[in-house]
Amino acid sequence: MSATDPYIENEVKIRYRGTPAEARTLIEGSGYRLVEARTLESDRIFDRAAELRRSDQLLRLRRTGEQPLVTYKGPTRRERHKSREEIEFHVSDPDALTLILERLGYQITFRYEKYRTKFAAAGEPGFITIDETPMGVFLEIEGPPAWVDQTAARLGLLPAEYLTSSYAKLYEEYRRSNPSAPPDMVFR
């Protein structure tokens, strides 16, 4: 979530051609410090007859450590950055929530995993992550739009490298050129 509006997420992804260690060196060399160690995030996207997907909304259950998190994301405005409403809350029993959603007609439509390492700089309104996925390494820069651009420039990254697609969409594209990849973006 953005530091300026707790319910608006502004972000870009950038496909990183180097290793996670090289990305970390770049980020820390630019003055950012580790705020969350490398952690596996296991996500489940729920939908009912593709109604959320058709309306460009998302309902996700994320399991990471002991803190399962439910996220609703509203329709996306894709300009230079991806911007959308984001509402999140922790749940104590993700299995019960999954059962409730299934009883309401929602099904898991996509699963994806990534190892995420998070960085920030003191007094700055956003953060950077290194996302290690089954389809490669990505950097995600999230915060107010001007900060996103300043941070990308500070890292030597260009706006032409910005991606505003979701991991689900990026994985769809990846599978077109890698037909043996599994339907879900999970580690084998």
Q: What pLDDT, on a 0 to 100 scale, did the predictor assign at position 126?
A: 97
Cα 64 from Cα 68, distance rounded (Å) = 6
> Residue 2 phi/psi, 5° resolution?
-70, 150
Contacts of the segment 129-133: beta carbons below 8 A, 24+ positions apart: 130/16, 130/20, 130/23, 130/24, 130/27, 130/38, 131/13, 132/20, 132/38, 133/167, 133/185
Please identify which residue in the block is written with the tokens 């007859």. 49
pTM here? 0.92
Domain boundaries, the chain: 8-177
Q: Which residues of the chain have pLDDT under 70?
A: 1-6
Q: What pLDDT, on a 0 to 100 scale, did the predictor assign at position 4?
A: 47
Cα 68 from Cα 78, distance rounded (Å) = 28
Please identify which residue in the block is written with the tokens 């898991």. 108
First to last CA, the chain: 30
Q: What pLDDT, on a 0 to 100 scale, did the predictor assign at position 121?
A: 97
CB 15 within 8 A of CB 163: yes
The dihedral of CA 100, 106, 107, 109: what is its sign? negative
Minimal CA–CA distance to 184: which of 168, 161, 162, 163? 168
Q: What pLDDT, on a 0 to 100 scale, did the predictor assign at position 6?
A: 63
pLDDT tens digits for range 88-115: 999 999 999 999 999 999 999 999 999 9
**Which top CATH class is 8-177?**
mainly beta
According to DSSP, the β-strands at 8-16 and 127-133 are: unpaired
